[in-house]
Chain A
């Protein structure tokens, strides 16, 4: 295992990866992350390929949803399982290879040094390698929307790399099963007045991750999901 560049004991950190049909990349992502953090939980969200088997053979703990529920549901499942373990920090990490485990160390450092409860990754403070222009525009619009609706002063609303201190992970419950969970997490941080900071991170866009990413229609669906959730309240 690579020596951690943080004062946090890696055994006290759980990485949660939600994966749906990521069999071709999940093994590499797991092996890369295990170099830094030994507690890695992959939630196989009802994949029809060998995602679960690939993650397991790479060394992750695998939880499997019997049916596909969505990334938000899978993350909540992983977080609930992580909280059963004796960890102080829970990290959400993407399955498509966009994130770097080294950035998690920076986020943990930010939490331990500044006493914040949540560290949010920001590609706009850091670097977004190979990000398409259309994606940049979409993310900027989503960030503006989130700043208006939550009051949080953030620069990147839909970054899947987040680190929660245990108390924050316990406080937040993700109810949005699909992609609207990213906005919901920020709403919860604002509503419960959790302390947070943004940490510059590097996001690597590959052909694979671009193909799997959100479309304009996806952004519209997120808005509808958030609207319905508010009616329900």
Chain B
């Protein structure tokens, strides 16, 4: 049961990663890869020890924890990038207000 639950969560993260492709390819790719690796390890936990040895990590359980940490980090990074997008929207709005309402010393219209 827990395996199905974790797999569903992994699929949600993969779907989210695919959705983020347009915004950041790096974040999207890493999210998908990490989630897929984590998903495989949920179903084949014995592989985790072999993979962990290959990756230079002591135990498979540790590696899964590292995958989880990596995904968390990437999601935080992605949130930061989204916040930056929001800030850019604010900038465009503030710029529009500024450019369309100049204060002229002699009240001459633009370009005259």
Contacts and interface: CB of A to CB of B under 8 A. Distances in A.
Given A86-B111, A228-B84, A73 B91 contact: yes
B73 to A, nearest CB: 13
A76 B95 contact: yes
B81 A77 contact: no
Given A62-B103, A64-B103, A228 B90 contact: no
B88 interface: yes
A86 B27 CA distance: 43
A64 B24 contact: no
A81 B94 CA distance: 13
Interface stretch (A52-60, A95-103, A111-119, A197-205): A52-60
A65 interface: yes
Contacts of A76: 95
Given A56-B103, A73-B91, A177-B87, A231 B24 contact: yes
A81 B111 CA distance: 10
Contacts of A57: 105
A25 interface: no
A29 interface: no
A85 B111 contact: yes
Size class of the contact patch on chain B: 20 to 34
A224 to B, nearest CB: 11
A85 B103 CA distance: 15
B109 to A, nearest CB: 11
Given A84-B110, A231-B81, A67 B103 contact: no
A223 interface: no
17 contacts: A56-B103, A61-B105, A62-B102, A62-B103, A63-B101, A63-B103, A65-B94, A65-B97, A73-B94, A77-B95, A84-B110, A86-B111, A175-B88, A177-B87, A228-B81, A231-B81, A232-B84
Interface of B: 23-24, 26-27, 77, 80-81, 84, 87-88, 90-91, 94-95, 97-99, 101-105, 110-111
Interface of A: 43, 52, 56-57, 59-67, 69, 73, 76-77, 80-81, 84-86, 175, 177, 228, 231-232
Q: Which 6 A-B pairs have the closest CB atoms?
A: A63-B98, A62-B103, A65-B94, A77-B95, A59-B105, A81-B99
